[in-house]
A and B are shown apart, each in its own frame.
Chain A
Amino acid sequence: MNFEPVIGIEIHVELKTKSKLFSSAPVGFGEKPNSQTVAYDLGCPGTMPVLNKQAVVYGVRVAKALNMDIEQLVQFDRKNYFYTDLPKGYQITQQDHPIGSHGYVNLKIGDKDKRVNIERIHIEEDTAKQLHLGDMTLVDYNRAGTPLLEIVSEPDMRSDIEAMKYVETIHQIVTFLNVSDGKMEEGSMRCDVNISLRPYGTEKLGTKCEIKNLNSIANVRAALEYEIKRQTEMLLKGETVGQETRRYDESLKKTSLMRVKTNDVDYKFFREPNIMPVRISDEFVKNAIDTMPKLPNQYRAEFLADGLNDKEVEVLLGDTEFTHYFEDVLALGCKSAKTLWNYLLGDVSAYLNKDMLKLSDLKITKVQLKDFCNMLDEAKINSKQAKEVIALMLRDGADPKKIVKDLGLEQISDESAIQEIVDKILAENEQSIQDFLGGKDRALGYVVGQVMKASRGKANPALAKKLILAEIEKRK
């Protein structure tokens, strides 16, 4: 490839406050149209913005997570334009004084580190939702006024993979901080990607194309992969890349023109005169940060220290619910993080996925899962028995200790008891001993199997094997 992609990303995150940014109407999703509004959301004359404290708290937390300078004099500006989804004819946003500035995230791509700088984050109001039908458009004001956090990166990314990782990282941070659902497919996280190409080694930026309406992280990467190819081909042919806004078509796997970008619209920004500067104190900031949920990086460090490997950690961090559940079970006294991981992301996950259930639908308690894992680690049951136990636990919500007791599944780890069985089996299987001594290793497995069968599967298989070998040694 002769050209270097230069990629910047703007992410809008819907904040999951209970009420809207400047009005007290409830924030919801999928409610009946126009049932979640108050007069302010329709732009009724005489209504006034009253700032939601929680939105500011969330803004501070995200700024901290992104290593940003926090602006403690909170101010807003008006962005003036006309559109049918903008009830006041202006949007209240933070143009001049964003709540966070000069931040960054560190991405890990393979074994390489990549730092992406973040220019700013600011708080603003969302617009109403429109439904375009045949010859008319319908407007639903439920969404109007929902708080948004806009995160603007520097154009630091140089590949579709880096862009994807960046979006993943932001997604992880906002979901772990619990400031947003971060669901791109529902619109609670929206990405606009800007990409231009330039010859390697040059400084001057090429013409920028904007790609909008990406509804998944995978599509962010796919759209950029296509776009890089498209622009490269054009430039190689000597064609000029037009300044455009494009959309990604998932089924065709290509980007297509939405509209040509005209000269920048003049939004006539000026300070919002109904909101005097709000000073948030050092104490306010400290409190917001002290009470914020753990960030992915903190979990990473903890889980690695607990004994999980990188891959296992990333799988877990891919889902905040699983992460918190995992953390809770460990905290209850689960001895092995590895064992817990294996069963949580193995049998439990499979069970949930079968019927599209969530962790909250589990019939078992965290204590019960902890007990289960510990029983396994303490060799009270073996792995074959464990499979049986966990299946019953999940199906019936039954207590593992009770299941093991009722079914008589306690693993026999008493040496003398196993020795007795070993002696008996060896006495009945003279040929196997000879076969093993003759070099047939499989004979050992057969004998162990016989011991397991005789004990109805309860014998500690490792111990049985040890005793058998010891006996065979004696008969050499």
Chain B
Amino acid sequence: MNYLDLTIAEIHRALVENKVTSLELVKESIARIKNDKNNSYEADNFEAALKLASEITSVKEEEILKGIPYVAKDNYSTKDIETTASSNVLNGYIPTFNAEVIDRLNKAGAILVAKSTLDELAMGGTGLSGHKGPTTNPYDSERIIGGSSCGSCAAVAKCDVPFSLGSDTGDSVRKPAGYGGLVGFKPTWSRISRFGLFPFAPSLDTIGYFTRSIEDSAILTNILAGQDEKDMSSSYRPVENYLTYLNKPNTERRIGYFKSVIDCIEDKAIVDSFYKTLDQLKAEGYTVENYEFPEDLLNALYSVYMVISCSEATSNDANLDGIKFGIKPTGNAKTWEEYMTEARTRGFSDLIKRRFVIGSFSLLAENKDELFIRAQKARRLIVEEMERFFKKYDYLVLPTSKRVAPLIKDSSDKWNPNPNFVDNHLGIANLGGYPSLTLPLGYEKGLPFGINLTGRQFEEGNLFAIGEDIEKMTGLKNASTVTRRIK
């Protein structure tokens, strides 16, 4: 057993007690990253990481992240480290500043060892569309690990690091977490500063992270949450100590679920496991009830998400024109339009271009009311319905996905012609800005599947409390490709 296979809390304990040094951890992490077989990584930070780790001689009790290696999705701005968002249009872009969350983690003593792959510009859900090619699932390399935070998920699933940064706009941390058997968490929109996160859809984008335990997730939230003057949308609400919600009885105990969503799942193992968990929760004193969420709203979830996100994305990525940074010009362009067109044509994959066309189309004056504004109205109605839900219940609990990770050959990021609301319910937490947590529920034929919990805005602590209860029930704390073998 290697210390790198443990949780943050356990590794920290070992560092404090001098059972392991940071340098040993970082060296091991680098070795594993170099040996990566899942195409999980972009640029590395090995030299700087080793230097930082070698300078750490002791770790105090309260320095909970000090000396611990981590990986960040390549859409986080990292000073002096090439950041591409897995898109050719940003090849060679070396930022001059760190994202706020990177600064906070570094200040806490955590050590960034590498950047991880993503679906290009974070606009995908399979992990297949990054400019380096597909990122595969460490549990089965014929399968996807999901996206867009594919590399970050793989890194933690195979214990290259104990935690990683991802980002979640529609489900991009919580869905892969299900396929990768991890804890994938996104807090309330505006709880954590988005400064330095390359924007996909700012009204939906949230910082998210992968860990292997609920406690670890709470630890990270303590460090990352809070107002940042560089992000005007970040919340001024006071930050709690989220660890105080653990290891004590949970006071919020009303669970709601959508039977209409679960009825769409054909995989019996997942459905049975889910209902069994609900029964166990009932036995622990939770009330559990079905909620009839209007079907017309559920049916529209996919389109609402796609229209809003593609429209905002088209605008956000208009800065990628080859003039100020990124892809080098060929020198053939004779006019400025040719110059920009060349950069954008060479730099974007066809999937991204299609998404931009959709976004642009939705915002055209003649379509805006019918498409974009209507989607924003639908968002309002969906959120109003959720507010009604949250008056009766403290949590929405649902299976993360209808199946275990699909095969690569069966996956695509094309516009889904037959979206099913079971594929899209995770987006509710983005539309409504709610905190949401995926954690491992079980395995089917060796492949993980997860359970997802969503709570009211700014009630991250309560989510960790119920998450901890479920984690105890499943016994799947610190699940990974390493520990599963041991199990």
Interface residues of A (CB under 8 A from B): 39, 42-51, 78, 80, 82, 84, 87-90, 137, 139, 266, 268, 270, 273-276
Bound-state Cα–Cα, A195 to B321, Å: 36
In the assembled complex, the Cα of A332 lies from the Cα of B364 at a distance in Å of 62
Once the chains bind, are A45 and B77 in contact (CB under 8 Å)? yes
Contact A273 B232 (CB under 8 A): no
Q: Does B198 contact A (CB under 8 A)?
A: yes
- B370, chain A: closest CB distance, angstroms: 14
**Which of chain A's residues has its CB closest to B365's CB?**
A266
B203 pairs with A273, CB closer than 8 A: yes
Q: Is B358 an interface residue (CB 8 A)?
A: no
A46 → B minimal CB distance (Å): 4
* 26 A–B contacts, CB within 8 A, in A order: A42-B324, A44-B77, A44-B319, A45-B85, A45-B198, A46-B99, A46-B197, A46-B198, A48-B233, A80-B318, A82-B321, A82-B340, A88-B318, A89-B317, A89-B318, A90-B315, A266-B364, A268-B315, A268-B360, A270-B372, A273-B201, A273-B202, A273-B203, A273-B233, A273-B312, A274-B202
Residue in B231, B317, B323 whose CB lies within 8 Å of A84: B323
Contacts of B196 in A (CB 8 A): 46-47
B290-334 vs A, CB cutoff 8 Å, 1 = contact: the mask equals 000000000000000000000110110111110111000000000
Please indicate the chain A residues that have their CB under 8 angstroms from the CB of B195 in the complex: 46-48
Chain A positions within 8 Å of B76 at CB level: 46
Distance (whole angstroms) from the CB of A1 to the closest CB of chain B: 38
Complex CA–CA separation, A273 to B336 (angstroms): 29
* A139–B201 alpha-carbon span in the complex (Å): 29
**Cross-chain contact of B319 among A49, A89, A139 (Cβ < 8 A):** A89
Residues in A whose Cβ lies below 8 Å from that of B97:
39, 44, 46
Any chain A CB within 8 A of the CB of B194?
yes
Q: Which residues of A contact B99 (CB under 8 A)?
A: 46
A48 near B90: Cβ-Cβ < 8 Å: no
Tell me the smallest distance from the CB of A90 to a CB of chain B, in Å: 6
Cβ contact within 8 Å between A51 and B324: no
Given known A-B contacts A46-B99, A84-B323, A273-B203, A78 and B315 have beta carbons under 8 A apart: yes
Measured between alpha carbons, how far is A182 from B240 in the docked complex, in Å? Answer: 50
Closest approach, in angstroms, between the C-beta of B157 and any C-beta of chain A? 26
Partner of A270, one of B194, B320, B363: B363
B195 and chain A: residue at smallest CB distance: A48
Separation in Å of the B368 CB from the closest CB of chain A?
A: 7
* B401–chain A nearest beta-carbon distance, Å: 28
Determine if B230 is an interface residue (Cβ-Cβ < 8 Å): yes
Min CB–CB distance B96 → chain A (angstroms) = 6
Besides A39-B97, A46-B99, A88-B318, 9 new A-B residue pairs in contact (Cβ under 8 A), listed by A number = A44-B96, A44-B319, A45-B198, A48-B194, A89-B320, A268-B315, A273-B201, A274-B199, A274-B202
The 6 lowest CB-CB distance pairs between A and B, nearest first, are A89-B318, A43-B319, A268-B363, A273-B202, A273-B203, A46-B196
Whether A45 touches B319, Cβ cut-off 8 Å, given contacts A268-B364, A274-B202, is: yes
Contacts of A137 in B (CB 8 A): 336
A137 to B339, CA, bound (A): 12
Nearest CB on B from A184, distance (A): 28
What CA separation (Å) do A88 and B203 show in the bound complex? 18
Interface string of B352-385 (1 = CB under 8 A from A): 0000000010011100100010000000000000
Inter-chain contacts of A273 with B (CB < 8 A): 201-203, 233, 312
Contact of B267 with A by CB under 8 A: no
B95 beta carbon closer than 8 Å to chain A: yes
Tell me, in angstroms, the Cα distance from A274 to B312 when the chains sit together: 11
B252 at the interface (CB under 8 A from A): no
A39 partner residues in chain B, CB cutoff 8 A: 95-97
Cα of A51 to Cα of B229 in the assembled complex, Å = 10
Instruction: Kindly state the separation between the CA atoms of A39 and B96 in the bound complex, as whole angstroms.
Output: 8
List residues of chain A with CB within 8 A of the CB of B230. 48, 50
By a CB distance below 8 angstroms, the chain B residues around A82 are 318, 321, 340
Is there an interface contact between B199 and A43, defined as CB atoms closer than 8 Å?
A: no
Cα distance A90–B199 in the bound complex, in angstroms: 14
Q: Quote the shortest CB–CB distance from B154 to chain A (angstroms).
A: 23
A308 to B93 CA separation, bound complex (whole angstroms): 64
Contact B368 A268 (CB under 8 A): yes
**Interface pair B318/A275, CB less than 8 Å apart:** no
A273 to B364 Cα, complex, angstroms? 18
Given contacts A89-B319, A268-B315, contact A44 B324 (CB under 8 A): yes
